[in-house]
């Protein structure tokens, strides 16, 4: 379940019908109104980014619900500020210690770390033949690998968010399993063909989540 303190927006569904999207207080009040009417379809609320399920404390009047959410948000902000201040203090202390330490002979310039790298002779031959030499070539290779890894991570997170929503709300819809296979196979065309046959609100939300997965490596 998502922590409400880290959520900026969410979306609520009554069955396959979208009730509301937006800030937590707005969605909470919309859900409260639906439940007050005694609707029979299950109501589910999703974080707009992760699709983690959200639960609201809907006791009391609308004013009490909103006040409770604002208090929770304020408490979370205070906790995050305290954590940030502690982290900044630790970073400053570490930086001061590093600056005060005596510089040894031949110590690298600030920001460059010298460490031993063990490679086969043919690897060194190739690196030394690159423009800028071995150090420049290694830095370029590491940076390219880092970017590729981040792209893959973003895609995986987006795929998991899409899958989480589809499992919760579309598990009984036609060709659900085929849609999940298309999602993880990065097959946008097949995925779109399937979800377009689903209820409009489910299709729209699933498509928006999946779009981040399909474009994460772009």
Token digits for 53?
């399920």
Determine the pLDDT at residue 129. Answer: 84
Residues 87, 136 within the same domain: no
More confident residue, 58 or 116: 58
Q: What is the mean pLDDT of residues 134-148?
A: 76
Q: Percentage of the chain surpassing pLDDT 70?
A: 76
Domain end point (choices 71, 92, 113) = 92
- Statement: residue 76 has pLDDT above 90: no
| Same domain as 126, residue 166 | yes
Mean pLDDT of all residues in 107-134 = 75
Residue 109 burial (CB count, 10 A): 5
Instruction: Give yes or no: residues 75 and 151 share one domain.
Output: no
Can you give the pTM of this predicted structure?
0.66
- Enclosing domain of residue 88: 4-92
The answer to whether residues 131 and 68 belong to one domain is no
As for how many domains the chain has, the answer is 2
Residue 140, in any domain of the structure: yes
Q: Are residues 156 and 86 in the same domain?
A: no
Sheet holding 10-14, edge to edge: 17-22, 10-14, 43-47
How open is the CA angle 15-16-19, to the nearest 5 degrees? 80
Please determine, for residue 214, whether its predicted confidence score (pLDDT) is greater than 70. Answer: yes
Has residue 28 been placed in a domain? Answer: yes
Q: Are residues 86 and 135 in the same domain?
A: no
Specify if 75 maps to a domain: yes
Note the pLDDT of residue 132.
79
pLDDT at 171 over 70: yes
Q: What does the DSSP 8-state code read for residue 63?
A: H
Contact 207, 149 (CB under 8 A): no
Angle at 41 between CA 40 and CA 45, to 5 degrees: 125
What is the spatial distance between Cα 18 and Cα 44, in angstroms, rounded to a whole number? 10
Residue 109 is assigned to a structural domain of this protein: no
pLDDT at 181 over 70: yes
Q: Are 88 and 172 in a shared domain?
A: no
Q: Are residues 164 and 207 in the same domain?
A: yes
Q: What pLDDT was estimated at residue 19? A: 95
Inside any domain, residue 97: no
Q: What is the pLDDT of residue 2?
A: 52
Q: Does 106 map to a domain?
A: no
Whole-angstrom distance, CA of residue 189 vs CA of residue 207: 11
Structure confidence by residue, pLDDT tens digits, 191-211: 999 999 999 999 999 999 999
Out of 107-111, 125-129, 153-157, 213-217, least confident range:
107-111
Note whether 87 and 157 are same-domain residues.
no
Range with top average pLDDT, 37-51, 129-143, 146-160: 37-51
CA 10 to chain centre: 14
Query: In the prediction, which pLDDT does 108 show?
Result: 54
Residues 43 and 128 in one domain: no
Angle at 136 between CA 132 and CA 142, to 5 degrees: 150
Average pLDDT over residues 18-44: 91
Task: Looking at 101-132, list the stretches that DSSP marks H as alpha helix, in order from N- to C-terminal side.
Answer: 121-129
Based on the fold, state whether residues 129 and 66 are members of the same structural domain: no
Asked if the structure places residue 112 within a domain, the reply is no
pLDDT digits (tens, 9 = 90+) for 77-106: 554 555 555 555 555 555 555 455 555 555
Q: What six digits make up the tokens of 90?
A: 């630790």
Contact 210, 158 (CB under 8 A): yes
The per-residue pLDDT for 90 is 58
CA distance 153 to 161: 12
Q: Is the dihedral of CA 140, 145, 146, 152 positive or negative?
A: positive
126 and 211 belong to one structural domain:
yes
Q: How far apart are CA 69 and CA 10, in angstroms?
A: 14
Flag whether 48 is in a domain: yes
């Amino acid at each position: 379940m998502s922590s409400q303190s880290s959520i900026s927006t969410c979306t609520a569904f009554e069955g396959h019908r979208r009730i509301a999207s937006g800030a937590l207080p707005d969605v909470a009040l919309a859900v409260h109104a639906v439940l007050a009417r005694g609707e029979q379809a299950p109501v589910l609320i999703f974080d707009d980014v992760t699709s983690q399920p959200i639960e609201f404390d809907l006791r009391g009047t609308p004013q009490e619900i909103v006040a409770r959410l604002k208090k929770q948000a304020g408490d979370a902000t205070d906790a995050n500020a305290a954590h940030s201040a502690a982290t900044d203090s630790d970073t400053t202390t570490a930086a001061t210690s590093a600056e005060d330490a005596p510089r040894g002979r031949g110590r690298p310039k600030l920001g460059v770390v010298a460490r031993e790298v063990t490679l086969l002779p043919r690897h060194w031959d190739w690196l030394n033949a690159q423009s800028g030499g071995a150090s420049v070539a290694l830095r370029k290779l590491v940076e390219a690998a880092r970017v590729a890894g981040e792209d893959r991570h973003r895609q995986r997170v987006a795929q998991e968010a899409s899958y989480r929503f589809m499992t919760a709300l579309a598990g009984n819809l036609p060709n659900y399993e085929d849609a999940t296979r298309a999602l993880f196979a990065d097959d946008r065309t097949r995925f779109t063909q399937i979800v377009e046959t689903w209820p409009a609100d489910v299709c729209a939300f699933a498509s928006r989540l999946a779009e981040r997965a399909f474009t994460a490596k772009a």
